[in-house]
A and B are shown apart, each in its own frame.
Chain A
Amino acid sequence: MRDKLQEIKATALDELSKAVNLDQLESLRIKYFGKKGELTQVLRGMGKLSPEERPLIGQLANQIRDQIEEQLQVKRQDLEKVVQTKRLEEERIDITLPGRDFNLGTRHPLYQILDEIIDIFRGLGFSVVEGPEIELDYYNFEALNLPKDHPARDMQDSFYITEEVLLRTHTSPVQIRTMERKNSQLPIRIIAPGKVYRRDDDATHSPMFHQVEGLLVDKHVTFGDLKGTLLTFARQIFGQDRKIRLRPSYFPFTEPSAEVDVSCINCGGSGCRVCSHTGWLEILGSGLVHPRVLEMAGYDPEEVSGFAFGMGVERITMLKYGIDDLRLLFDNDLRFLQQF
């Protein structure tokens, strides 16, 4: 029996070392460990041995079984590795072929900038309000301190629907509507983005364009606060090194009024083609809300004050993306839209 075991061991190890694939290995496993396997048979015949011999032979048999099994295991790992290596080699692809086409849509560049503007002012505690694009003369002009026949109405040539109804020429009417709605509550911190319309159509004017109006009304609002808010905005949208400059100007609904220039985003202020060699770019109009406007909307100008500002989204978009032709923004040329 002992000899028999030694013989099985020798043959098994020899055969295992010669196996070249996993199938052969499997047959060998069955040959020795299967139900009718050689080793299984030997172990089954143990019962016939004397009680003295049984533990000795048993120990030997277990030893030999473990050795063969271990060898089988090692061999299997080797062969699996060969198989895997072969497979990896066969599965090589041309990784320089282009990827599958993903057809991504695009947000209009104008609205990408609008999103940025909204994000910045939301961060400053402003909320977004909308108003009608077709407006009453009252909200568009009169309540903004622009009575009929006021010379400043010439600054905004309007499209009329009836004598009293027109396409809004700015988003400022939303100021009035908001103040009326708030019914003299404080604070008001809103921005009003949207489309506006003026009777102008040339290389630098579109009859439809977009504005963002801002309004803050509260106790103790100062001109300095207006400067701070606009400086924050200018830096967030155009970069940290930007400076702003306020110039006195005139809007009937604000006083003091200011045009706001930002140091040129192209040359930084030294003067270039973009800023017409002035170093500055005009980006928005602003001012303290005119006391008459506050009054008409139901607020006491002795108790509260506010500031308002309005900017053209097209202008900021063109400056930021270096777009030199306004018309592109409304032409919807796919080759243009897909650049953003």
Chain B
Amino acid sequence: MRVSYNWLKEYVELDISPQELAHKLTMAGIEVDSVEYLGEGIDNVVIGQIIDVVDHPNADKLVICKVDIGTDVLQIVTGAPNVVKDGKVAVAIIGCHLPNGVKIKKAKLRGEVSQGMMCSAQELGLDPKNFSEEQQTGIIIFQNDAAVVGDDVKKTLGLDNYVLELGLTPNRADCMSMVNVAKEIAALTGGEFRLPSMAIEETEGQSVSRLADVQIVEEDLCHRYVARVIRNISIGPSPLWMQQHLKASGVRPINNVVDVTNFIMMELGQPLHAFDYDKLADNRIVVRKSVQGEKITTIDEEERELDKDTLVIADAEKAVAIAGVMGGFDSEVTEETTNILLESAYFQGESIRRTAKKVGLRSESSARFEKGIDKAQSAAAADRAAQLIAELGGGQVAPGVIDVYPKPWEQPVITMRSERVNKLLGTSISCDDMKVLLRRLWMEVEEVETGVLKAKVPSYRNDLTSEIDLVEEIARLYGYGNIDTTMPKGEPSAEPITPEEILKTKVTKGLISCGLNEMISYSFISPKAMDKLLVTEGHPWRTYVEIQNPLTEEQGVMRTSLLPGLLETAAKNFKRRQLNLQFFEIGRVFLLSEDRLPDERVKIGAIVSGEQFNGWVQKSTPLDFFHLKGIVESLLQQLDVEDVEFKAAAVPEDYPSLHPGRAAEVILSGECIGYIGEVHPQALSNVGLQQRATVMELDGRLLLEHVNLVPSYVNLPKFPVVSRDLAIVVEDAVSADAIDELIREVGGELLKGITLFDVYKGTQISEGYRSLAYSMTYQALDRTLTDDEVSQLHDKIQDSLLEKFRAKVR
């Protein structure tokens, strides 16, 4: 809502600056987004009158004008097509800076001196659409009586004014009215409020009830319909003062009738509609729902087909307006119009909101109806508008008014306990002071018993319906800043930190300490992302939760895996020439479920690609499968998980995005909780990542079942450790895991640790074989192991390996 400071002054005494006013309103909950000075940048532009026009001797398209600016007569050369002798114009005199950055200097144009410039709307930084067509292509020519030679143009154009742009919250739609804003200001500043005159002068003649007929079919959707008829008017421009008020409010002046309806809408917040009375079949108004497929051409000249539920205003034959949203083209007021039927109605907000949404039209009118207007004011607004139309159009208001009012407004009365107000706010405001505050807000207040007030709510404050609403009004006027600052009393919450939270923290810290960078990607993905990742039809990753109204197709479905985001991030960074990539993300994926809500599962995902630079001391190491596997292993170890296995997938088709020979399921105590693997080369190339990458994704909920978040302390060993190495040569087909398992099985309790420290294939080993070198540590908890004991056990391990895997000692 744009509020003109000058216009406001007609309704309320204002002795503070626009900026101070803005602050006061903002601190009272009517947020002022901006304060704009309309004449910004327009200085040294005055009204002049063209007293002579002669052709330019050296240029066909230029003329030389003599312009009287009161203090002087200037010679100005111009090419404007619409210069006319005696015309009053806006003259930018020498030294003037225009809003578009032009500086006016004394100049010669084709040999003739020019001492200034006659301005167009654009040159003054004004919207040309507010001016006549002729003036849109040329300079502004003022109506003779509308401008005084020598005056500052800002005064003439009403630009010596400020506009406060209100960012209204939905509950304060009443402030989409100058009068209601003025009332609010009066409550805040104590300034005197002045209501505009609502007096109406009816003429003799046929009464309105014989001229027209109004019927409301949908009483639930139209609670009141007031009609007046104004006759014998002539359509023309509205007066300058009205145009200036409208322009400042951002409304384009059209003609005296439409301008009055808009003016009253801005002033009182009551949207009005003026029909060309003679174009209403049977002079009838019927407020009804549209029939399926009914058509109406609205004043924007667009034909619209309606469904069966749109509230329309119809005459005896057809719909002539979409109620509260937009009028019809056929019954629109035109230059030929002489008789007007004026509508001032109350349409139910939700219905208007739905209609406006449905037909895709949001007008100043619908914006007001949607949020609820002043129901008690329809007749007064009609009176004031009818009177203004008659005055400005030289017509007569037909006697009488049609006021169909099936759902009369009942003034709400709210009971408020002063003790409760203080209890909620933490204040000690006296009941008398509360009375004063409520009365300032135009409520009738009565103390019905000690400390209990009954307040009658004014008709425009639809937002006030219960005691708590008045508590807020008291707090607002008392000032939030004046309420004492305290800390909550009472007991602290006793809820422990959840295992989910602990796990998330531990995993996050663990992955960060492994060198991964945390990333956050959008929860929605493109369904095409799964094509790129080679995910086959029917794969569970393809059963998405779909968004009905996504912003783009790229964000059409909820992710079922973190993989698309991880790969996209890696590829994006790669394109920025970041080659060494290590990312992780902890976030939810969304799986369709039988329940009303999808299954949201926290996943832990990571991607590594490129190599890790280790500085000059050591060579770089590849960020490959084993790097990420090492991270997963360390993480699981830190989480005290026992029984970890990495196994090739039982059903490789479950992981179509992964390299089939370099992928594994992560299995904890027999349960698969996720996967790790190199990305399939085809998928890599599809996403534009031109180097190998390894990914992993673990399920948070499954992981939680296998971790031990509160480790219990085990006594430190008191007896020494003995180390022995063992190198064997086995066939490639024998997995490291199998060897490890056998060593552990034979080693039993005394074997404390195994480290694989070398894997070798090469000249000294036969083709198809590899050498694995282990370092084993032995320790007993209750004694120092003897050399013999260790040797015996170590040999036993070695023998079993030789036997079971046909291994050779190297």
Residues of A within 8 A of B (CB): 97-101, 103-108, 110-111, 125-130, 132-136, 149-152, 154-155, 159-162, 164-165, 167, 186-190, 195, 197, 199, 201, 207-208, 216, 218-225, 227-229, 231-232, 245-250, 255-259, 288, 290-291, 305, 329-335, 337-338
Give the residue among B31, B475, B520, B549 with the most A Cβ atoms within 10 A: B520
Task: Decide if A136 touches B596 in the complex (CB within 8 Å).
Answer: yes
Question: With A and B bound together, what is the CA distance between A256 and B520 in angstroms?
Answer: 35
- Given contacts A107-B518, A126-B493, whether A228 and B549 have CB atoms under 8 Å apart is no
- Indicate which residue in A108, A208, A248, A288 contacts B523 across the interface (CB closer than 8 Å): A208
Task: Decide if A228 touches B486 in the complex (CB within 8 Å).
Answer: yes
Task: Decide if B550 touches A227 in the complex (CB within 8 Å).
Answer: no
Question: With A and B bound together, what is the CA distance between A107 and B193 in angstroms?
Answer: 58
Question: With A and B bound together, what is the CA distance between A22 and B705 in angstroms?
Answer: 65
- Given contacts A151-B353, A334-B573, A337-B519, whether A229 and B581 have CB atoms under 8 Å apart is no
Shortest C-beta distance, B674 to chain A (Å), equals: 19
Task: Decide if A199 touches B426 in the complex (CB within 8 Å).
Answer: no
21 contacts between A and B (CB under 8 A): A100-B618, A105-B512, A127-B493, A134-B598, A134-B600, A149-B350, A149-B354, A151-B353, A159-B547, A159-B548, A159-B550, A160-B547, A161-B545, A207-B555, A208-B522, A208-B524, A232-B487, A255-B469, A255-B472, A256-B475, A257-B472
Residues of chain A lying within 8 A (CB to CB) of residue B488: 216, 218, 221, 225, 228-229
Is B485 interfacial (CB-CB < 8 Å)?
A: yes
Residues of chain A lying within 8 A (CB to CB) of residue B27: 247-248
CB within 8 Å of A: which of B483-497? 483-493, 495-497
Task: Decide if A189 touches B492 in the complex (CB within 8 Å).
Answer: yes
Question: With A and B bound together, what is the CA distance between A133 and B597 in angstroms?
Answer: 10
**Which one of B85-93, B110-118, B608-616, B653-661 is at the interface?**
B608-616
Shortest C-beta distance, A248 to chain B (Å), equals: 3
Instruction: Give the nearest-CB partner of B548 in chain A.
Output: A160
Task: Decide if A106 touches B523 in the complex (CB within 8 Å).
Answer: no
- Given contacts A107-B512, A165-B596, A223-B475, whether A125 and B549 have CB atoms under 8 Å apart is no
**Which one of B167-175, B290-298, B632-640 is at the interface?**
B167-175
- Indicate which residue in A151, A201, A248 contacts B170 across the interface (CB closer than 8 Å): A151
Instruction: Give the nearest-CB partner of B614 in chain A.
Output: A101
Instruction: Give the nearest-CB partner of A338 in chain B.
Output: B517
- Indicate which residue in B501, B518, B522 contacts A106 across the interface (CB closer than 8 Å): B518
Task: Decide if A161 touches B548 in the complex (CB within 8 Å).
Answer: yes
- Given contacts A108-B519, A228-B487, A256-B475, whether A98 and B573 have CB atoms under 8 Å apart is no
- Indicate which residue in B423, B497, B597 contacts A127 across the interface (CB closer than 8 Å): B497
Question: With A and B bound together, what is the CA distance between A220 and B423 in angstroms?
Answer: 7
Is B572 interfacial (CB-CB < 8 Å)?
A: yes
- Given contacts A100-B615, A338-B517, whether A248 and B598 have CB atoms under 8 Å apart is no
- Given contacts A105-B515, A127-B495, whether A149 and B353 have CB atoms under 8 Å apart is yes
Residues of chain B lying within 8 A (CB to CB) of residue A329: 520
* Inter-chain pairs besides A128-B498, A187-B492, A225-B426, 8 sampled, C-beta below 8 Å: A105-B512, A106-B512, A108-B520, A132-B597, A136-B596, A155-B170, A223-B480, A332-B569
Shortest C-beta distance, A37 to chain B (Å), equals: 37
Is B5 interfacial (CB-CB < 8 Å)?
A: no
Question: With A and B bound together, what is the CA distance between A290 and B511 in angstroms?
Answer: 43
Question: With A and B bound together, what is the CA distance between A231 and B171 in angstroms?
Answer: 27
Is B809 interfacial (CB-CB < 8 Å)?
A: no
Residues of chain B lying within 8 A (CB to CB) of residue A208: 522-524
- Given contacts A107-B508, A248-B475, A290-B468, whether A135 and B425 have CB atoms under 8 Å apart is no
Is B576 interfacial (CB-CB < 8 Å)?
A: yes
Question: With A and B bound together, what is the CA distance between A151 and B322 in angstroms?
Answer: 20
Question: With A and B bound together, what is the CA distance between A187 and B495 in angstroms?
Answer: 11
- Indicate which residue in A188, A229, A256 contacts B487 across the interface (CB closer than 8 Å): A229
Shortest C-beta distance, B34 to chain A (Å), equals: 10
- Indicate which residue in A150, A195, A219, A224 contacts B485 across the interface (CB closer than 8 Å): A224
- Indicate which residue in A133, A220, A290 contacts B588 across the interface (CB closer than 8 Å): A133
- Indicate which residue in A165, A229, A332 contacts B597 across the interface (CB closer than 8 Å): A165
Task: Decide if A104 touches B618 in the complex (CB within 8 Å).
Answer: no
- Indicate which residue in A111, A135, A220, A257 contacts B490 across the interface (CB closer than 8 Å): A220
Is B590 interfacial (CB-CB < 8 Å)?
A: yes
Task: Decide if A218 touches B546 in the complex (CB within 8 Å).
Answer: no
Task: Decide if A256 touches B597 in the complex (CB within 8 Å).
Answer: no
Shortest C-beta distance, A316 to chain B (Å), equals: 15
Instruction: Give the nearest-CB partner of B168 in chain A.
Output: A250
Question: With A and B bound together, what is the CA distance between A152 and B549 in angstroms?
Answer: 20
Question: With A and B bound together, what is the CA distance between A122 and B549 in angstroms?
Answer: 38
Residues of chain B lying within 8 A (CB to CB) of residue A231: 485
Residues of B within 8 A of A (CB): 26-29, 31, 169-173, 349-350, 353-354, 370-371, 423-427, 466, 468-469, 471-472, 475-476, 480-481, 483-493, 495-498, 500-501, 508, 511-524, 545-551, 555, 558, 569, 572-573, 576, 578, 581-584, 587-588, 590, 596-598, 600, 612-618
Task: Decide if A249 touches B169 in the complex (CB within 8 Å).
Answer: yes
Shortest C-beta distance, B179 to chain A (Å), equals: 21
Task: Decide if B515 touches A305 in the complex (CB within 8 Å).
Answer: no
Task: Decide if A167 touches B547 in the complex (CB within 8 Å).
Answer: yes
Instruction: Give the nearest-CB partner of A178 in chain B.
Output: B495
Task: Decide if A248 touches B28 in the complex (CB within 8 Å).
Answer: yes
Residues of chain B lying within 8 A (CB to CB) of residue A190: 493, 495
Task: Decide if A105 touches B511 in the complex (CB within 8 Å).
Answer: yes
Instruction: Give the nearest-CB partner of A122 in chain B.
Output: B497
Task: Decide if A250 touches B29 in the complex (CB within 8 Å).
Answer: yes
Task: Decide if A159 touches B489 in the complex (CB within 8 Å).
Answer: no
- Given contacts A222-B424, A256-B476, A257-B472, whether A104 and B512 have CB atoms under 8 Å apart is yes
Residues of chain A lying within 8 A (CB to CB) of residue B476: 248, 256
Task: Decide if A103 touches B425 in the complex (CB within 8 Å).
Answer: no
Task: Decide if B472 touches A249 in the complex (CB within 8 Å).
Answer: no
Instruction: Give the nearest-CB partner of B558 in chain A.
Output: A134
Task: Decide if B425 touches A248 in the complex (CB within 8 Å).
Answer: no
Question: With A and B bound together, what is the CA distance between A160 and B558 in angstroms?
Answer: 11
Question: With A and B bound together, what is the CA distance between A111 and B349 in angstroms?
Answer: 42
Task: Decide if A256 touches B600 in the complex (CB within 8 Å).
Answer: no
Task: Decide if A224 touches B484 in the complex (CB within 8 Å).
Answer: yes
- Indicate which residue in B170, B497, B590 contacts A134 across the interface (CB closer than 8 Å): B590
- Indicate which residue in B466, B481, B513, B520 contacts A330 across the interface (CB closer than 8 Å): B520
- Indicate which residue in A105, A167, A222 contacts B514 across the interface (CB closer than 8 Å): A105
Task: Decide if B547 touches A161 in the complex (CB within 8 Å).
Answer: yes
- Given contacts A107-B512, A125-B493, A216-B488, whether A248 and B29 have CB atoms under 8 Å apart is yes
Task: Decide if A337 touches B517 in the complex (CB within 8 Å).
Answer: yes
Task: Decide if A227 touches B486 in the complex (CB within 8 Å).
Answer: yes
The 7 closest A-B pairs by CB, nearest first: A248-B29, A222-B426, A224-B426, A125-B492, A250-B169, A189-B493, A105-B512
Shortest C-beta distance, A324 to chain B (Å), equals: 19
- Given contacts A132-B600, A291-B468, A333-B576, whether A105 and B614 have CB atoms under 8 Å apart is no
Residues of chain A lying within 8 A (CB to CB) of residue B349: 151
Residues of chain B lying within 8 A (CB to CB) of residue A110: 520
Question: With A and B bound together, what is the CA distance between A288 and B467 in angstroms?
Answer: 13
Question: With A and B bound together, what is the CA distance between A75 and B475 in angstroms?
Answer: 93
- Indicate which residue in B350, B493, B523, B583 contacts A195 across the interface (CB closer than 8 Å): B523
Question: With A and B bound together, what is the CA distance between A162 and B549 in angstroms?
Answer: 10
Instruction: Give the nearest-CB partner of A206 in chain B.
Output: B522
Task: Decide if A250 touches B517 in the complex (CB within 8 Å).
Answer: no
Residues of chain A lying within 8 A (CB to CB) of residue B616: 97-98
